Structure 1
Amino acid sequence: MNPNLRHLEVFRLFSRIMSVTETARLLRITQPSVSQALRDLENQLGVELIIRGQGPLKLTANAELLLKNMEDVLDNMQALRERAARLRGEQDNSLAIASVHPLTSWILPQALGRLKGSHPQTRIGLEAYSSREVIKHVQDRTADIGFTFLPVENLDMVVRPLLTTAMVCLLPKDHALAGTVQLTPEALENETVITFGQQVRQEFDVRLSFERGNEAGRFLTTNLSVVSADLVRQGLGIAITLPFVLTPRMTQDIAVSAFRPEIRRSLVAIYLKKPGLSALGKAFLAQVREETRSFAAHLDSLGLFVKPG
């Protein structure tokens, strides 16, 4: 006999608190119902899960081994329910977010903190992807809202501009070029340049700025702007990256200069026209806009190009 999902839910909660009374109270059912559900699950699995005796109830070794599989089943069922709800256009108190990596260091965490303050019961998922993957997840409805860079060539999506900015150079504070307002490829001729991997569009634009873009040992690449900043701290080179890594804490130990020729990138929020954004999604987007304006003011104070959406 296959295990009943309700029985799995009862057992998962019981395994965490090890109390039939408390499990019944939290699930708002009777204690005999909890005890019966636990016995039924044991019968369905054909395995003893609970050691019953004179003392407190304990889980058997078999229960400990099966618990992870039960967790996976229940988590997958929850994901299935949420996916089906999105396909029906019924977005309740859950929000799935897909974003490019640079926003996960400051803007989105700040916005999520505000959202959780006003909607504490909200179930939130935040996943980081490449720009193209963000678009795909929104298109497939595995994400309610996405944050990515233009271009977005999908007529089924609403595209909301958030911020346009330009690539910058990150340097160690004690570097000879630190304090230079603008840095060019000529100024970086004798430097190791840290950039994104070649699958990223801005990497291609950066390489075009250098006459000897394929010179052996000239470039050190990474796929994350946060990692590029860490490499700068270790004195491994000068990074050319998007400025979203420049949180207030980040600028305490890293110098920043504008990069020329200017390479601009426009950040946008995207979601499907149908079913559109839920009330929760709209509230979150409003928080992101507020954090984006605050971050734009921070970049402006550093003398960097920024144009709020």
Structure 2
Amino acid sequence: MNLRQFEVFHAIMRTGSVTGAARLLNVTQPSVSTVLKHCEAQLRFRLFNRVGGRLQPTPEALAMLPDIEAVFDRLAAVERLTQDLAGGRLGTLSVAAAFPIANSYLAQAVATFLVGRPGMRVALQSLNSPQVVDRVAAREVELGVVHEPVSRAEVETELLARTSIACVLPHAHPLAQRASVPVTALAGQPIITYLPQNIFRGYVDKALADAGVTPRIIAQVSVSLTGIVLAQHGAGIALVEPLMLRSLSFPELAARPLDPAITFDTVLVRPRGAPDSTMLERFVTHLRRTLVERDAGPH
């Protein structure tokens, strides 16, 4: 028996008639009768007897039914699987990101993406930017999210957002009363910023030098969160990326943009030439939507 014969047999068993089977399969009644006739000829025994206007299954048909129903149960399972895969409700997603990104809006996007997707699993790694790019280049993760610059032939990038260094300082600080902080206003202030080996330190140093400000740097940090915590405890003004300020609770602190702004790009990093899975396409769309909603919400 071929699969079409299985379908006709199963439909007749479910409906009890050729007419019902034709309606169920959305085909004509003669086509069902023809398939059934050919099937019985191949098998060399009858599958149904006509009793009182209905088809009565023979003992041979009843013996076959459990195995054929098992075939259709598996087909139904495959159909559900394909629907879940197409709908982005099932599968695995591996993402790596720079520490402040992974622990702020990316974690938020992953958490909200998982809602309604009980069959999905996510691996989210928090690393430094070079490590993220290495993982993507080695195809150990599907997607990376880092700050520019990225220069590896094995990967390709796509702009996700434009980010800025901000002044993170207590609400009670006089500079926090301004909508933005002129870089020149930082002269003489105790400054917390990145270690020289951090890629953002060059941006900060250039902005201060262009404004003619010789900074009074009292603390240097490797990650933004450490600078934010130092500012919370009164060490000084943190010139850092403020993502973690919005992701965690620091009610005593404010973030104010600098004037002129110190901006840089945040990019999505993928293995070069690798097609996106349906799951990844849907997640990237969701991530972008999360950023739009985040920027539109209260700061």
1:102 maps to which residue? 100
* Superposed displacement of residue 181, structure 1: 2.4
> Paired residue for 2:59?
none
The answer on whether the counterparts of 2:192 and 2:236 sit within 8 Å (CA) in structure 1 is yes
Q: What SS does the aligned partner of 2:119 have? A: coil
Question: Residue 257 of structure 1 aligns with which residue?
Answer: 256
Q: Is the 8 A contact 1:183 1:257 kept in 2?
A: yes
Task: Tell me the residue number matched to 2:182.
Answer: 184
Distance 2:182 2:199 in 1: 19
Partner SS for 2:185: coil
Shift, 1:170, TM fit? 0.7
Residues 158 and 218 of structure 1, relative CA distance in 2, 3 Å threshold: closer
TM-score, structure 1 normalization: 0.61
Q: Is the CA contact (8 Å cut-off) linking 1:138 and 1:271 kept in structure 2?
A: yes
Could you list the runs of 5+ residues in structure 1 that have no partner in the other structure?
Answer: 1-91, 303-309
- Which amino acid in structure 2 is aligned with residue 264 of structure 1? T
Contact 1:207 1:213 in 2 (8 A): no
Structure 1 distance, partners of 2:200, 2:223, is 12
* Residues 179 and 255, structure 1, Cα contact 8 Å, conserved in 2: no
**2:194 is matched with which residue?**
196
Alignment CA distance shift 1:251-1:296 (3 Å):
farther
Q: Deviations over 1:242-294 (max 9, x none)?
A: 23224276463212221133211111111113332222222221221111112
- Kept in 1, the 8 Å contact 2:164–2:263? The answer is yes
> What secondary structure does 2:205 align onto?
helix
Report which stretch shifted further, 238-247 or 134-143: 238-247
SS in 2 for 1:93: strand
Runs of 4+ with >6 A deviation: 212-215
Please list, as runs of the form range in 1=range in 2, the aligned pairs for 1:143-158 lying within 5 A after superposition: 143-158=141-156
Question: With structure 2 as the length reference, what TM-score do the two structures score?
Answer: 0.63
Matched with 1:28 is none
- 1:157-199 Cα deviation digits (max 9, x unpaired): 3322111132110111111222122223431222221112222
Pair 1:140-2:138 in alignment: yes
Structure 2 counterparts to residues 70-85 of structure 1, below 5 A = none
| Corresponding pairs, count | 208
Which range moved further: 239-248 or 228-237? 239-248
Structure 2 Cα separation of the partners of residues 243 and 273 of structure 1: 31
Cα distance in 2 between the residues matched to 1:252 and 1:246: 9
Paired residue secondary structure (2:265): strand
2:236 is matched with 237
| 1:240 and 1:259 in contact (8 A); partners too | no
Match of 2:126 in 1: 128
Report the equivalent of 1:40: none
Is the Cα–Cα contact under 8 Å of residues 115 and 283 in structure 1 kept in the other structure?
A: no
Structure 1 residue 174 corresponds to structure 2 residue 162:
no
Q: Relative to structure 2, which stretch is displaced further, 203-212 or 190-199?
A: 203-212
Larger Rg: 2
Distance in 1, matches of 2:247 and 2:141, equals: 29
Aligned counterpart, 1:17: none
Contact 2:167 2:256 in 1 (8 A): yes
SS in 2 for 1:158: strand
CA deviation map 1:23-62 (0-9, x unaligned):
xxxxxxxxxxxxxxxxxxxxxxxxxxxxxxxxxxxxxxxx
Deviates more, 1:176-185 or 1:107-116: 176-185
The DSSP-based 3-state class of the residue aligned with 1:123 is strand
Distance 1:273 1:261, change over 3 A: same
Higher mean displacement: 116-125 or 164-173: 116-125
| Structure 2 unaligned regions, length at least 5 | 1-89
Identity %: 22
